[in-house]
Each structure stands twice: as C-alpha cells, then as structure tokens.
Structure 1
Amino acid sequence: MSSNFYFHKWKDTLRDLEELVEKDVFYQESKVHDQKLPQAVHRSSSFLGQYIMMYNQMIECCQQNLQVQKTAWLDSILNAVILRIIELKKHLEKLEGSRFQFLGYGLIEVHHTVYDIGMTKIPKRLTRPAHIQAKLEDIFAAVKEKRMMAQIEEEAAETAETEKPVEWWDAEANGETTSNKESSKKDNIPEALQMTRKYVALIMAHEKTRQVITWDKHRKLTREMWEKDLMGELKPKARPEIRKRSANLIHTVFRVYFKLKRERIERCKRDELLGLNLCDAPIFGVQQEQAEVMLKNRSKLYEKHEKKHLEHRNKLKDEYMKNKKAVVCEELRDQIREWFIEWFESVQFFYDIPKEGSVAIFKGEIPDPLDWLKENTALALKKEADKKKSPQDLKFQKLEAKKLAMLQKREEQMNMKAEALLLKKMMKNPTMHPGYTYPPSKYTGDIVKAIDYYHKSWDKFDVYETMDVKEKHVDKINLNDAIMQVQLEVLPEVDEEMRQELRKLKQALKNDYKTNEEEMPVNLTKRPKRKRVKKAPKSKFDDKVVDMIENLIEQGFILEYPKQKLEDFIGDPNFGGEDLRAQTLPASPFHFEIRQYWWERCRDVSCGFRRMLLVGPDCSGRTNLIYALASVNDAVLFELDPYNVQGALESAQFLKRLVKMVVTCARALQPSVIRIKHVEKLFYSKIPPEEAEMNLKIIRSYFVTKLFKTINKADNITVIATCTEPWLATASALLKQFPEVLLLPNSGYSLVVQVLKEWVYRNKVIPADLNVSNLARALQGYSFGYLQDALDKFMSADRIVKIATYGLSPMEVYDYFLEDTTQTTVEYDKYLSWYNEKTAQGIKEVKYLEDQREFNAAFEKYVTKKQKKKKAKSAPSSATPSFTGL
C-alpha cells in the first residue's frame, strides 16, 4: 500500500488510542467498582483486547513507515502501549489466578472477536551487526559445502568400488559375479523408496502412453477426413436453419449449466462460512507470501531512505560546524554566564560545573539556588552541632538512627502484611467482601506523555501532508539535529573555558568576602550518585571465535533452523474458558492462548538472560515454538542434547570446553537461544537400566549448573529446556533451575480440524468435500506432529492414483491410523496431574479454584440463611389473633 494510506491510518489509530486512554483514565480516577468477579474480569479483558488491537494496528504502521525521523516517536508510543498490555495481563492474572486469559466476552462488548487480537509481531529492538551476520552466513555456507564435498567423495568411492572390473578367476574364487554385486547394491535401497520409484515410473509410463495414443488417434482421424474429402465421400454440412437451431440448444444447455454452477458456488461459500463443509480448495498461503515480500521491499526502501537521511544530516552538520562554530560557542558561553549570574544574585555564591559538563545545567539536574541555600544552611548547622559531640556519641547517634530506620521499615512491612491478611479474610467472607475496584495504572501516564510529545513535535508537519512528512525526511528537522550535534561536540571545549572563568570568579568572590570580613559559604551538599548500570562484557568476534562457531556447526551444536512464524503454531482459542472459570472449573489453554503467552517470551529475548521449561508429549509443537521464537528475533539456535555427548565425549574436559565455546559464541552472536533437549534425563529420580552407562550427573553439572553461571544477566541469551516425561525427574531440582514452566495443550477437536483442512489445501487431489468434521472427532488425542507426519505418509504414489480414480472416504484415513500400532492417543491426564501437583503455577491455579469454590459455597449459605430470616419475619405469628375488618 502507499505511504499516504499508512499516513492516514496512523492518524486514525492515534485518534482511537487517545479515546481509549481517556476512557481508561476516567475509570481509574472514578474508581469504578464491580461487585462480582466475572464483571471485573470482563471490564479488564475488554480494555486489554482494545489495547491489543491498537498494538496490532500501530505495529503495522511502524513496519510500513518510510519516514525515517518519525520512527522514534512511533516507537515511544508503541512501547508505552506494550507496557500497558503487560500490566493488564498481570492484573487479570491476579483476578483469575492464571497466566492465560480468555477475552471472549470482553471483546463482544466492544463488537470484536478473539481473532482480532492475535499478537504475532514484536518490535525489533536488538539487531546483530551486519559484518557478524555476513560472517555467520559465510560460515554456514562453508560448512554446507564441506558436507556436500564429503558426501560426493563417499559416493564416488562407493561407485569406484562397485564399478571395479572383476576378473573371472576373482569372481569364481569369491563365489560372486558383477551381476550379484549389482543386485546386492539394489537390495540395499529401502523398500519404501523402491516402491515409490516403481509407482513414479508407472505414472510416467501411463502418461506417455496416453499422449502417444491421443496423438495417434488424432493423426488417424485427420487422414481419414482428408481421404474422404478428396474422394467426395465426406458428408455435406447441415443446413443453416439446423445449425442455428443446434446453436440455440447448446446456448440453452450452457446457460442452465452455468446457473447451476453459480448456485453450487454460493452454496459452498455459505457452508464454508458456517463451518459445515469445504468445497473449493483455495491457494494456501499465497496472500501471506505476497505480504511478506511487500514488507521486505518496504524495509529495503526504508534502509535506503535512512542512509540518505544520515548522509544529509552529516553534510549539514559539517557545513554548520565550518561556518557557525564560533557563534555556537559564544551562545553556549552566554548561557553558562547567565547561570553564573543567577546563582550570584540569588545566594552570593557560585556552584561548580559538574564533572559531566554543562549538559547537566541545561538538563536541569543542578539544584535551584534557594533550595541549595536552605539545605546547605541546615547541613552547616548540623556540622556545628556535631563538633561539640565526641566520636563515640556520633557513632552511637548513627547506630540509633540506623536502628530507628530499620524499626520503621519493619513496622511498615508488618502493617502491609496485616492489611493483606485482612483483605484476604474479607475476600473470603461474603458479608465483608469489598468487591473489585478498577486499579490505577503506572503506564497510562506514559502513553499520554508520548502522545502529547508526538503532537507537539509532528502536528506542525502533519497538517500540510507533504511528501517529505510521509516518506524520506524533513530538512528542517535535520537542520535542528545538526545544530544539536554541533553544540554537543563543541561543549567540552566551552566547558574548559568556562571552568577557567569560574575559577577567576570564585577568587574574586573570595576576595570580596575577605574585604567585607565575612566568611565565604562552603558547599556541603553532595549530588546524588548515579546508579551504574552493569554492562555485559564485550565479546570479541575474532578468528578464534569464528573457528569455534564453525566447529560447533560441524558437530551439530549450532543449527540452521527453518524460518517459522507464530502463526505456524496453528490452533483455535478456548471459547468455553470464561464459562468454565465462572463455574469455578479448571480451564486449560488451547493453542491460541499459548501463542499469546509465547509472544511475551519472544519479546523477552532482547531483554536479557531468560530460562524456561517446555513440557508436553512427543510431537506436541515444542520445536515449532522454539523455531518461531528464534525466527522472530533472528536469533542463533544452539542445541545441547545428552545423546550427542556419549562415550568418550562424556569427560569433564570436553564438556567444560564445549560449554565455554557455546557461551562465548552465543555472547558473540546474540541474540541467541540455547535449547537443552531431554532435560528430564539429567534430573532422573531413578536412572533406568538402559541408560545406566551414561554419566548423566556430569552432563547435568555442565549443561545446566555451569552453563547458567557463565551467562550474565545482561546477555541476550534465552535457555529453553524441553522434556516429554517430567514425572521421571526429581521435581524440586528440575524446577529450581527452571522455575517458569509451560505445559503445551493436548490436541483437541478444533486443532485436528485445522490440521486436516491444511492437509486438504496442500493436496489438491483430495476431494474438497471430504468429511473433515467426523474424521477429526475420531482422530483427536493424537499428537500434533504425528498427525502431520502420518497424513503426509498416507499420500503415497499408489494412494494418489487411487484417490484420483475412486475418490477418498474418511474411513480409509481412519483405518490407516488404526493400522499404525506404534502410536496411540496421548495420556494427557498424566501431564496435568504432574503440572498441578509439582509446579508453582499449577499449585497456584488449583488453590485459587478451591478458594473460589469455598467462597461461593459460603455465599450461597449466607443467602439461604438470609432468605429464611425474611420468610420468618414475614409469616404471621400463631400467638397473635388475626384482625378482621367490620
């Protein structure tokens, strides 16, 4: 789409966001109160859904934006909205006792559906340097080339051995002939591959035969017509009236045919909208691919505009530095001198220029003269009073002040605990329940400030709607940026000159105080120390690191994964989740809610060191989620598998070197994702006999404990452990290392329907009206990955020919699954029981539901008791006679 479209879309989105924030702030200030929990949840979920829709529209505008200077303002508003979304999610987590939110009813109130709030894109924060990315691609290409060359050499060696001439005496001595060798080589080919080749050859032979027969028939008929025409035996053409009547009949038949076809298409569209049936298979994924290509083209165009913008700004800066340097220096000196005059006229004193320079003066970080005088006088009086005290008294005074501060802090904590305990008791008591108040927010103010700052900065440009406001850059803003950069560059030189002037002024002031026989004030105040942010150690990307990366790729510890999106983790939302929670029943998330939760984990990759545990059955989609997380952040994927370090590789020396190489390369290539496979084997409560030979203790020591110790908090490295049988591990030790656990959902009916629909879309030979609904009912319970693999294997060459000839029934597909005895439906209750009994999140959810059930039972009891009292009061007493009128 054009830049004009997204220019106006951004203005409309910003207007809608302002209305939403205004309503949000009004609810916070008026302290809107809800008596029941579902009402409070619906209100908060409604706001959360609206903020998510605003986020989706804003991030689309940000990604399609071609105005380079506008990006910083758009990002500031977008980041403020993200913080508000996360805050609302945490509030709903407190209300419902679960990390997963079901927003159905809250969205219905604002006339939207759950599909409008799918969060699949994250704002890019961290990018790998271009030279490192290019070097990484070269390393992958070199390793691929090495593997291909090695494979070609192996095949050439095998061919040379098989094609080596064998003399008759050698053949007789060995009891083997060349034909036997060829037959033995043929026997080494798998049977499935042989059958596939056979069916492919059969299909090719059929097609070639059909073409030859068609061509031969056409040639024969043409020759017969030509001979009859020459001999005069060809029948004459029909009369014109007969041909006209035949044409009218053909027109009538075709009109009826196309009318029936249009009705069938309308009926199919209606059935697809109602979800009853599938008719014509659309071209799957074409629109998404086109959108991705357009987005890539826009990003390339943005990079081109950004490069021109930087060149133009640097050119302006150089010209301004050359022509106006002296003027800029003099203006800065005048501003600092005015600051000197302000201090002298106010308090007859000169404050020192800070170490960081006069930037602190212009930012307003220096205290006001009158405030400084008040604080300095108090400190001077305190210092005079302390002179009369002994060192022991001063020490005792400091200890007493420290004790008093600790007592006050402890008292505040006890009061907070008492208030929390009282509130908890009140929430359980139906007669004292306070209800639910819409909570104040920390981040709506940030959204308002970001929007106001945008209006102050860009409204004067947006009103004209010129092309430079929609694309490329505005020259006036570049000029202001160039002036600011020139001022920052000349400021150290100006500071040094002004410090010399300040020394002279201080000396003159000291002489004046001495002449007037007065004591010059001393600055006793101290500026608050700035918090030093711990920076992660800079990783060197040298030849040594390049060799490490190449070595890890060759050994399989760095993977070249397929690029995936969050949408590839297909699945519907749990539409009954809200109703189940309203009835205080456990509600499990489906794939849609997992995607919403995983969006936060994708965003956290660029926020420092993170670690989590993915639990689920085999082929439940764990690998898809990890690939999506790495793809969205363009991260490098490392994989540590205990089965890859068996035998001689289990030594402490090799594992220490391996972990060091992994952390060094992950830090050099960050953002990075480290996957630890089969993590339950490293925490076995009882080692099975078949794995007793593996030294799992030492592997656990290096793959988990020492790996985490060598990663810094500021490193953009995410560690994801995966396991399929968590009950085999010691839960306390496993969850201590991975406190955050995500249990993947079971494959239910809606998921199997989507898998089958996608399978029908991909294979056009399958009838579009295949009864997917009934087949999904029968196949629910099989794991997600197994369903996809089994359906792909079902489409063999033989079956493709049969389907094209005879069609396909759901029973044939179901029989194919029944014949496969290697796989059965997943025992998902086992995973749920482990999650609810062992993990902190599961225990919290179970306890919350129990508390809600107890409260509902107490409330019903209270209402019943109250109704009985009302009936007893309203019933006439048997002791008093009834009065009848005359």
Structure 2
Amino acid sequence: MSHETYDKLCRETHDILDEASQFDTFLAGEKPQKDKKLAQSQVVELYYKYIIAMNNLDQCYDQIVHPQKRLVIKKLLDATIGRILELKHELVNLDLSEFSYNDDILCKLKLSPKEVEVNVPAYYKREREAEIVKRRKTITDILKKLGYYEEEVIEKEFTLEQAVTIIQIHERARQGRLRAQFMREIKLMKEKSKVEPSEGKQVDGAFAARLIQKVWRGYNTRRKMRRRKIEEMLLIGMLQPTYTVTDARQKAEEVVKVRHQVQKEYQEKFEQALIIEKERILRNRGGAMKEEIADEVRNWFIQYEQATGKFPEIPSEESGGSALIFSRTGAESTISKSTTLSSGRSKKSKKDKEEEGKPKKSEEEDELGFKMQPSNFLMDMLHSAEEYQDVWKYRDETDNPFQEADMDMIKAEKSIEVEAELRRIVDQLLRKELEVLQAALDRDRARKGKKVRKSAKKKGRGGKKSKKKKEKDLTPDRTLESLFEELVTNGIIKKYSEVPLSAFRGEYSYAAHDLRQLGKDPLPCLGDLRQVILEYCVLPLGSNTIHQMAPLVKSLLITGSHGSGKDMLVHAICTEIGAVLFDLSPANIVGKYPGKSGLIMLVHLVNKVSRLLQPAIIYMDGAEKPFMKKVPKTDKTDPKRLKKDLPKIVKGIGPEDQIMLIGVSHCPWDCDQKSLAQTYNKFIMIPRPDYGSLSLIWKEQLFQFSSVNRQFDTAAMAKISDGYTVGNILKVIKEVMTCKRVLQLQVHPLTHVELINVLCKYDPIYKEEEEAFIQWFSKTPIGKRKARALEIEAELKAENASQNKTKKMN
C-alpha cells in the first residue's frame, strides 16, 4: 500500500472519530438515562465505533513513515484505546457481566463480529523489541550458567562444494526412491490390467475406441464435479483453504518490513534535526531573544508600578512564569485585575450566605438512571483530532513524496521551545532584579516618612499529605542487574514460552444475544474470553500513558478445568506486552527465602524489581491455596505463606505501576471466598468449548497438514469431542499425527477412528464439575450484583402486576 492509501485511511478514521466524539460529548452532557436498554445501545454503538477507529489508527501508525504525522496519530491512538477501556467498564456496570452481546447494534452498523475484534497495537512490542530481546537473552544466559540448558554443539562449517555434494546425494536418493515406487505401481497396474485372451474372439478398433472414450469421459466428469464441489464448499466456508505463500502475499510482507526500516531511518533523521535546529537557534538568535523577553517584562514592571505604586511579582515557574502575563489577556488586563482584586471582595449578602450554607442538591442526584462517568481521554482525543485536522488532514504534500520530516515545522517547534527555556532563565534574573528594585523603593518611602507595608509571608499550599508510605529499601546498595540475576537464579523470574494471544483460538458466541433477550444467562465462548483478556490485561498494561488514566484493574483470577488454557493465557499476556513474569506460586517458592525475614525480603524484591522492569506480571498458580481454610496433610508447600502479603502487594499497585497480579485456579471453591475477593478485582471463568470453537480448532489443527483430505469431516469430530478441553484435543492430534503417520497420509488417509481411540483415553469436563464452576461464579462480587439486580427486577414486576390486578378489580 502507498503513502496516499494510508493517508486516506487516516482521514476516514478521523471522520469516524469526529462523529463518535461528538455523540460522546452529547451523552456526557445529557441527564441520567432511565431507559437501561437505550443507554446500553448508546454506549455499545460508541464502543464499536471507537474499536474500528482504533484498529485503523494502529494500522496507520504502524505503516505511515512521516515522523511528525506519526506523533499526532499516536496521541489519537492512545486516547482512543483509553476511551475503549472506559466504555468497557461502563458496559460491565450496565450488563452486570464481563461479557456483552450486542448483535442488534452490529446489524444496525452493518458490521461483523470480526470487524469489531480489538487488535493488539503493533507498537506495544515493536518499540521495545530491542529491550525485550536483550532481557530474554539475559535470562537465557543466567540459566545456561546454572546448567539448565545444554551447551550448544557448534557445527563444523561446510564449504560450498561440500554442501552441494551432500544436497546432490540426498536428492539422488530421493529421486531413486520415487522412481522405484513409480515403477512398482506401473507393474501392479499392468498385472491388474492383464486380460485373459478370449479364444476365437476378435475386438475391432471402433469398439476399443468407444471403450477408451467411456472410461476417459467418466474420469473427466468425476474430476470436474469433484473440483466444483470443493470450490463451492470453500466458498461457503465448509472447507478450510490451504495456506499457500503467493507472490503477492510475499511482496506485501516485504513492503511492510521496508516501511518499518524507512520509519526507523526517518525517525533518526528527525531526532537529529531537532537537536541541530535547537543549537542553531540558540547560536544565532539566543542573545536577541533574551533581550526581547527582558525588555518586554521590564516594560510591564514600569506600567504596573505606575498603576499601583508597587512592583509586581513574576508568576512562579510551575504556573508558567512571565509567559502567563502575556498570554491571552496581556499586561493591561493583568494590571486592572490586580487593582480591582481588593475592591471586588465585597461582603456577601445574608441571602447568599444562607444559600451557600445549604447543601447543594443536583438534579442528577434526584433522578435515577444511567449517567456516563467523566472521561479522562475524551478531551485528549478532541485536542489530537483538532490538531490532525488543522495540520495534516487537508495538507498538500505533493512536494514531499517520500514523506520526510517537515523542516518548517521543526523550526517553529524549536523556536517555541528555545523561547520557553530562555524565558525561564530571564525570569530567574528578573526576580532578583525585582527584589533590588523593591528594596530601593522601600528605602525611598522610608526617607519620605511613608509607612512601608510589609509583604505578607507566603503560606505554603496546604493539603493532606499522601497517606501512602514509602517502602523502606532493604537493598539500597544492590544494582538492578544483581537483583534480577538473583530472582532468575531462584526461579522467581521465569522465562515463559512466547505465544500470541491470537493462538488462543475460539469462536464468538452468536446465539448469546438472543438467549439474553429470552431472560437466560448463557456462558461465554472462547472468542469472547480472548477479547476480555485483551481489554483487561493487554491494552492497559502495554502503554504507561494509557495505564495511568484508564480504569485500574490490579488483579485478575482465571479459573477453568485442566487443559482449558489458563497458563497459555498468562504467557500470551506476557508475550503481547513484553512483560517480566514473577512466579509466586506456592509450589515454586517452597524452600526459597525461608523464615519471616526471608519472606519480607522476597516480597520486597518482587515489589522493587517489578517496578523497575515494567510492565510486569506476578503469577500465582493454585490461586486458591493461600486462602484455604484447611490445608491437606499431603500438601508440603506451605500454601498460606503469602496469605497476608498478597492483598498488600495488590493494594500497593498504583496507576503509575504497569503491574498486575494474575492467579489461575482449577478449584476456586476450595478456599475462603471473602479473602479471594479482597485480593482479586476481576474473575474470569473459562467455560468448556462450544461446537463452533471445537469445529474451528479441529479444522485448523488437522488442515495444517497438507496431506489431510480437505473433505475430512471435522464437524463429526466436533460433535464427538463435546465436553473435552482444547488441551485434550491438542494432545490427541499430537499423539496421532506423528512424523511417520504424516508421511503415510498419501497412501493411508486419516480416519476418524484413529482420533476417537486416542480421545477416549482422556476425561471430559463432567456435568458436576461444570455446575461447580457456575455455582462458584455466582458467589463472586459480579455474580452477587447480578443476582441482586434480578431479584429487584422480579420484585418490581410482581409489584406492577399486583397494582394492575387491583386496578382491574376496582
């Protein structure tokens, strides 16, 4: 795709954002909405529009090469992601569920579920790629030193002639085997086609020709029908297409890599140009700019002194310094404001005092209904969108076909920056000059016998001190590298397997919306679960800017049966954001950092290193064990060791900390639910896979082998494997599709019996286990809220029914 294509996509996305933000601003100013369904549809419509805009902006930011344009797009992208997270939490409060199903809104917007699937922003990992690779290499080197990895055997390098000779030998052997197989098949065909010579019967040429035509026409027709059937089934999605690397696909991937390389080059040139231009402005215009600023401020001194009889004070550096005086109002308005300040403090009337004393009661508090919470991202989005529209949307770039940095913009930006820096220096000098002038004025007044008015002492800004105590550093003399090596050596920092979140395969729930309309509460599908994990973990933790202002989720508990993919989700989260994984599972810390002092040191090291190496995931396998009422005698891991420290770790996580505690459990009901709810903010339950997800997984896993017939009935396997976890299915495929079996597929096609025989070795999710998970989830905070809301709704319906009955009787 060309520069013009991405610019066009960016303009279209800006139009989507403009429409959505206007509607968003309108909703923020509206009164509370009493109609819950209407409020939900409004929030969902905004939510979907922002998702489409976010995916487009991510693509633009990943591929546009203009460095200055990319800065604006990134601001827009971050603000959009933050707004999506805010709307997600609004939907949870409306639905009283972590999952939302809104097929009616999708139909209204003419969108498919795939189009509103949130993508992981590409820049999360790409901009930290060198750091992530270096960190993983450090962990690998430490583990190699400890002997966890065998030394790699350094293979002897071959010359070109030796390599060609080896390839020729293997190729000749391969051709020989194929030729032998081919000749064997010809021999068998000849033997089968031998016809006993009939005595005294002669076959004429016409009969032989008709016989050959009959066989050929039958074969040709069957081949055409088979091809037509396959094409039709591929068209309607009944067969999985074979992945082939075409020239167009390969070229597109190469173009993406080239654009990334150009981005890097342009960014380096842009940063270098910023430094050079700043130095040039300071060298050529620095002195003149200082004099202009000083003269401007001194003139203001004189005007102020003539109007008020005293010299003014320059605003503090934090509030903007002397620039604050000349922005918007100018020196004259500042003088008039200072002269009228004391006179404007008139006494309040008795009526005003009485009204002020009364507690204010807003109309919004009187009215019941849904009111959207104020957004931390909407204003940033509006400002960024306005900046894009003013500068880039209609900009003619015919003179810049290669999309390099604009030097005029760099000069203007650096001029403003240099002026601000010089103004701070000049302000410091003039503050001292003001003190001298004020002292001289006071001495002059004292000689004339005038009473010198003592300036009131400035009181420091009051306010409550932060209650958050700073943790005492138990390792002040240790470097980060030594602490990191210690935690890796003790197995607290783990090297996780890199797996993308998209590898957690599963379909979305396409029937849940209709079921909810009927008053039922369906279980989510694996695709819905993947989306929620992305919104609660990946999107906020991937960016420090977003995490500081987005709704804070400090901890998450993932529950599900064995083989449901809990650990895979944790590894996927770490992979997508390039996080450091701290394993505090009871089985992992047994025998490490013994005693009370050792436990204090362990918690301190995890807190300290996780903040220095953000983003970080603190992992807890067997999350129910620290809060168990009674520990089994067979458990020798001391699971209650972190019972008091886990809530403290979670409590200490703030908006500025890109840290999250993620626990996994296959039996969360075996512990004190109150303690569990105090530690974990969110609860996610992985249900058993539905038919759509099972069918998708069987297709993808089996059809990755090119020799498997594309007409293999995966729908039958999806029905047979109902109740089995994805982990079990992957084990079955791995056990059946060995290297030897894959080579035999050409001669002996795969059968269902082979898969079923292996599948029978594993246990499915029984009904009792599934009901135990559902019952436990109903006792979580979100489950209790939903049950209470249903009770209130039932009571209101009963009350309305009784009132209607009374009216009819009267």
Matches of 2:604 and 2:306, distance apart in 1: 63
Contact 1:782 1:825 in 2 (8 A): no
Structure 2 distance, partners of 1:537, 1:6, is: 48
Q: Is the 8 A contact 1:284 1:762 kept in 2?
A: no
5 Å-filtered alignment, 1:272-671, equals 272=237, 277-278=238-239, 280-283=241-244, 297-341=258-302, 343-344=304-305, 347-356=308-317, 359-363=320-324, 368-376=334-342, 444-458=378-392, 462-466=394-398, 468=400, 471-507=403-439, 510=442, 529=461, 544-598=479-533, 599-605=535-541, 606=544, 607=547, 610-646=554-590, 650-671=594-615
Give 2:180's aligned residue.
213
Residues 648 and 730 (structure 1), Cα distance of their counterparts in 2 relative to 1, 3 Å cut: same
The amino acid that maps onto 2:5 is F
Quote the residue 2:772 is aligned against.
830
* Secondary structure of 1:586's aligned partner: coil
Pair 1:247–1:502, CA change in 2 (3 A):
farther
For residue 852 of structure 1, the aligned residue among 789, 793, 797 is 793
In structure 2, what is the equivalent of residue 2 of structure 1? Answer: 2
In structure 2, relative to structure 1, the CA distance for the partners of 1:299 and 1:493 (3 Å cut) is: same
Q: 1:552 to 1:500 in 2, by over 3 A?
A: closer
TM-score (norm 1): 0.73
Give the 3 Å change call, closer, same or farther, for CA 507–665 of structure 1 in structure 2.
Answer: closer
Give the stretch that moved more between structures: 800-809 or 446-455: 800-809
Q: Tell me how far 1:784 sits from its aligned partner.
A: 2.4
Distance apart, 1:329 and its partner CA: 0.7
| Equivalent residue pairs, number | 755
Output one character per residue of 1:512-570: Cα deviation in whole Å (capped at 9) or x when no partner.
86799766776669698499999999999997432332343344322222333332222
TM-score after normalising by structure 2: 0.79
Tell me, in whole angstroms, the C-alpha distance in 2 between the residues paired with 1:256 and 1:694. Answer: 70
- Secondary structure of the residue aligned to 1:562 is coil
Secondary structure at the counterpart of residue 114 of structure 1: coil
Residues 545 and 664 in structure 1, CA contact (< 8 A), matched pair in contact too: no
Deviation, structure 1 residue 296: 5.5
Residue 616 of structure 1 contacts residue 723 of structure 1 at CA under 8 Å; is this kept in 2?
yes
More deviation, 752-761/130-139? 130-139
C-alpha separation in 2, matches of 1:314 and 1:33: 53
List aligned pairs for 1:60-79, cutoff 5 A: 60-79=59-78
1:801/1:307 Cα in 2 relative to 1: closer, same or farther (>3 Å)?
closer
Which residue identity lines up with residue 559 of structure 1 in the other structure?
K
Asked if 2 retains the 8 angstrom alpha-carbon contact of 1:128 and 1:669, the reply is no
Tell me what 1:680 maps to. Answer: 624
User: Which residue does the alignment assign to 1:389?
Assistant: none
- Does the residue aligned with 1:718 lie in a helix, a strand or coil? strand
Q: Provide the rounded CA distance (Å) in 2 between the counterparts of 1:465 and 1:507.
A: 58
Q: Could you list the runs of 5+ residues in structure 1 that have no partner in the other structure?
A: 155-203, 221-238, 383-400, 425-434, 873-886
Q: 1:441 to 1:666 in 2, by over 3 A?
A: closer
Partner in structure 2 of residue 753 of structure 1: 695
CA shift at 1:756, angstroms? 0.8
- Structure 2 SS opposite 1:356: coil
Rate the CA distance shift 1:636–1:252 in 2: closer, same or farther, 3 A: same
1:76 is aligned with what amino acid? K
Gaps of 5+ in 2: 154-170, 188-204
Change (3 A) 1:560 1:292: farther
* 1:726 Cα deviation from its structure 2 partner: 0.9
Measured after TM superposition, the shift of residue 450 of structure 1 is 2.9
Distance 1:711 1:860, change over 3 A: closer
**Higher CA-based Rg:** 1
SS in 1 for 2:556: strand
Correspondence 1:690-729 to 2 at 5 A: 690-691=634-635, 693-701=636-644, 704=646, 707=649, 714-729=656-671
Distance 1:790 1:466, change over 3 A: same
- Contact 1:640 1:675 survives alignment (8 Å): yes
Distance of 1:856 and 1:709 partners within structure 2: 41
C-alpha change, 1:67 and 1:860, in structure 2 (3 Å) is: farther
Matches within 5 A, 1:224-243: none
SS in 2 for 1:116: coil
Query: 2: distance between equivalents of 1:323 and 1:55?
Result: 43
Deviation at 1:308, TM superposition (A): 0.9
1:70 is paired with a residue whose SS is: helix
Q: Partner of 2:85 in structure 1? A: 86
Q: Residue by residue, what CA displacement relative to the aligned partner does 1:213-255 show, whole Å, maximum 9, x if unpaired?
A: 35888999xxxxxxxxxxxxxxxxxx9xxxx999999998998
Cα distance in 2, alignment partners of residues 733 and 354 from structure 1: 51
- Cα offsets for 1:419-477 (capped at 9, x unmatched): 86x756xxxxxxxxxx8788987765553333223333445xx4212464872310011
Q: Aligned partners of 1:32 and 1:654: how far apart in 2? A: 53
C-alpha distance in structure 2 between counterparts of 1:217 and 1:581, whole Å? 63
Aligned equivalents of 2:390, 2:566: Cα separation in 1: 47
Do residues 271 (structure 1) and 236 (structure 2) align? yes
Q: Distance in 1 between matches of 2:182 and 2:690?
A: 53
Give the match's secondary structure for 1:618.
Answer: coil
SS, match of residue 115 in structure 1:
coil
- CA change 1:34–1:811 in 2 (3 A) is farther
Give the 3-state SS of the residue equivalent to 1:675 in structure 2: strand
2:758 to 783, 807, 816: 816
TM-aligned CA distance change 1:585 to 1:138, over 3 Å: closer
Say whether the 8 Å CA contact 2:723–2:765 is kept in structure 1. Answer: no
Q: 1:385: which partner in 2?
A: none
Cα distance in 1 for residues equivalent to 2:152 and 2:231: 59
CA change 1:852–1:312 in 2 (3 A) is same
CA distance in 1, matches of 2:531, 2:107: 19
Give the Cα–Cα distance (whole angstroms) in 1 for the partners of residues 651 and 767 of structure 2.
40
Give the conservation status (yes or no) of the 8 Å contact 1:7–1:470: no
User: Secondary structure at the residue paired with 2:694?
Assistant: helix
**Contact in 1 for aligned 2:101/2:513 (Cα 8 Å):** yes
Q: Secondary structure at the match of 2:624?
A: helix
CA deviation string 1:31-83 (max 9, x = no partner): 69775x43442333222211211121122212222221223322333333334
User: Which SS does the other structure have where 1:120 is aligned?
Assistant: coil
Farther-moved stretch of structure 1 (606-615 vs 841-850): 606-615
Shift of 1:729: 0.9
Confirm or deny: 8 A CA contact 1:316 1:479 kept in the other structure: yes
Give 3-state SS (helix, strand or coil) of 2:733's partner. Answer: helix
Shift of 1:625: 2.1
Question: 2:415 corresponds to which letter in structure 1?
Answer: I
Give the drift of 1:125.
7.3
User: Which amino acid counterpart does residue 447 of structure 1 have in structure 2?
Assistant: M
- Aligned pair partner of 1:786 in 728, 742, 765: 728
State how far apart, in whole Å, the 2-side matches of 1:524 and 1:857 are.
Answer: 68
Alignment counterpart, residue 733 of structure 1, candidates 656, 663, 675: 675
Q: Which amino acid in structure 2 is aligned with residue 847 of structure 1?
A: R
In structure 1, C-alpha distance between the alignment counterparts of 2:384 and 2:429, rounded to whole Å: 38
CA gap of 1:547–1:135, structure 2 versus 1, over 3 A, is: farther
Instruction: Report the residue type matching 2:92 in the other structure.
Output: E
| Change over 3 Å in CA distance of 1:252–1:828 after alignment to 2 | closer
Distance 1:257 1:817, change over 3 A: closer
Aligned equivalents of 1:527, 1:327: Cα separation in 2: 37
What is the DSSP-based 3-state SS (H/G/I as helix, E as strand, rest coil) of the residue aligned with 2:386?
helix
